[in-house]
Amino acid sequence: MTERTGFGSKLGVILATAGSAVGLGNVWRFPYMAGENGGAVFIIIYLACVLLLGIPCMISEFIVGRHGQSNTARAYSKLSGGSPWKLVGYMGVLTGFLITGYYAVVTGWCLQYIWASFIGQLQGTPDYFKTYFAELSSDPVRPVLWTFVMLGIAYLIIEHGVRDGIEKASKMMMPTLFILLLIIVVASCMLPNAGKGIEFLFKPDMSKMTGDVFLSALGQSFYSLSIAMGCLCTYASYFSRYTNLTTSATQIAIIDSVVAILAGLMIFPAAFSVGVNPDSGPSLIFITLPNVFSQAFGAIPIVGYFVSLLFFVLLSLAGLTSLMSLHEVSTAFFQEEFTLSRKKAALIVTISTAIIGAFCSLSLGATDILVFGGKALFDWFDFITGQIFLPVVGFLTCIFIGWFVPHKVVREEFTNWGTLRSEWYARLFHIYLFLVKYICPMAILFIFLHQFGLLK
């Protein structure tokens, strides 16, 4: 098997790939999903889903990526022998490309909130924060400029390649993200009545365990680990043949889950301390939390100032690590399929996704022209990629690996060409194969049908 230039160290593999998974899905989406679905019960089901669904799906993408040693589209094409299964790879690249455009808008909001925190604008009543976010998201200029800035930062990292760009940036950003997260967790947990928020997260109320909670946790595990976006497959193409795929997937899932739970510990103790409802929904980060920090640390304004500033720096770093991986999916595709230099490929992706991001941002109130069927263009991108493309690509990847790819090929990748020969790995391979053939496709199908109201 020929190898191209890849990650230079095991730490680089783990931090870069974990950075792909650790993003706004952990710091923004996980807390409000936990808040809406019973806290501790949701977390228990979520962790079980990561183990039974997330890790096998991640390993499957790793197998395709490392075996193909190329961009996601070409990797599927190689493994499928050019059969129609190769379209799954192209769909994965398209999904990552489209997500890059509108995801950059959300990360751009984070940069605006850093600036607003820095100059002391994030102070006021709950109505003030609600108005502030509404005015920002519908502004025709500021969000577009911040979107361009975030994509520009991603470009500067991506153009330097895997070792000098992605790996170096991940080694700096991921530890910084953890340190910031721990600082805010400690500050939040020291607030009056913070114990109620901690209890909400870790003391399960079994009466709240419903089918909806189970399916929500299932969907969040899928969303949080960046499965089916092409990111994991692309990063795996840079793995060494000695990289243990099972161990790497497990370590990444653990890091991802720890960050998600720490995000809950950062948010809910502070929310309960000031009497904010934990089920505030998607607005929790941009509307509720500034108000929480303002109230919780009102007695010592300078502390509230720094906590708010650090939080949005943290949120921006989380968004950037994921944006880098999404950008790399399309950059690798353009570079290899059209024989372009890395800088040209990265520039094409940056400019085209910046255009998508600009239109998505403008659709949120700046113009009615970009609203179709009652949804803004931004919401259509989110709906089509998140609720259609991701589950479809994930489902087809499981079917592809479990039923189409020869088990000998899958076993060779799983065991690093027989170098992992213990009886434990032999059993683990059969467990993995069972999960990816039967459990994962059925679980993903349940998510897909449930979100369209076809499964109650």
- Across 280-296, average pLDDT: 71
- Distance, in Å, from the CA atom of 306 to the CA atom of 455, rounded to the nearest integer, reads 46
Is pLDDT larger for residue 338 or for residue 33? 338
Q: What is the 3-state secondary structure of 55-117?
A: HHHHHHHHHHHHHHCCCHHHHHHHHHCCCCCHHHHHHHHHHHHHHHHHHHHHHHHHHHHHHHH
What pLDDT score does 56 carry? Answer: 96
Among 258-262, 360-364, 452-456, which stretch is predicted with the lowest mean pLDDT? 452-456
Please give the C-alpha separations between residue 98 and each of 195, 230, 341, in angstroms, as whole numbers: 41, 12, 22
What pLDDT score does 452 carry? Answer: 76
pLDDT of residue 3 exceeding 60 = no
Q: Outline where 241-287 has alpha helix (H).
A: 245-273
Q: Which residues pair with 371 in a beta bridge?
A: 376
CB 68 within 8 A of CB 370: no
Q: Which residues pair with 376 in a beta bridge?
A: 371
Length in residues, the chain: 456
pLDDT of residue 265 exceeding 60 = yes
- Distance, in Å, from the CA atom of 432 to the CA atom of 426, rounded to the nearest integer, reads 10
User: Tokens at residue 428, please?
Assistant: 């683990």
Q: Which of 229, 181, 221, 224 is nearest to 325 (CA)?
A: 229
What pLDDT score does 2 carry? Answer: 45
> What are residue 365's phi and psi, to 5 degrees?
120, -20
SS3 371: strand
What pLDDT score does 5 carry? Answer: 62
pLDDT one-digit tens code per residue, 175-201 = 888 888 888 888 888 888 889 999 999
CATH superfamily membership of 10-451 = Hydantoin permease (1.10.4160.10)
Amino acid 107 reads T
Q: Which of 259, 257, 256, 249 is nearest to 56 (CA)?
A: 249
Q: What is the dihedral of CA 404, 408, 413, 419, to 10 degrees?
A: 170
User: Tokens at residue 197, please?
Assistant: 């928020």
- Across 126-149, average pLDDT: 90
What pLDDT score does 1 carry? Answer: 44
Q: Which of 128, 67, 397 is nearest to 288 (CA)?
A: 128
- Distance, in Å, from the CA atom of 367 to the CA atom of 140, rounded to the nearest integer, reads 8
pLDDT of residue 17 exceeding 70 = yes
Q: What is the dihedral of CA 391, 18, 438, 204, to 10 degrees?
A: -90
Please identify which residue in the block is written with the tokens 């720096």.
Answer: 313
What pLDDT score does 26 carry? Answer: 82
Q: Which residues contact 290 (CB under 8 A, 6 or more apart)?
A: 113, 122, 129, 132, 308
Q: How does the average pLDDT of the chain come out, rounded?
A: 88
pLDDT of residue 9 exceeding 60 = yes
Secondary-structure breakdown of the chain: helix, strand, coil percentages, each rounded to the nearest 5: 75, 0, 20
pLDDT of residue 296 exceeding 50 = yes
CB atoms within 10 A of CB 80: 19
Enumerate the domain spans of the chain: 10-451
- Across 417-432, average pLDDT: 85
Instruction: Indicate if the alpha-carbon torsion angle 51, 54, 56, 58 is positive or negative.
Output: negative
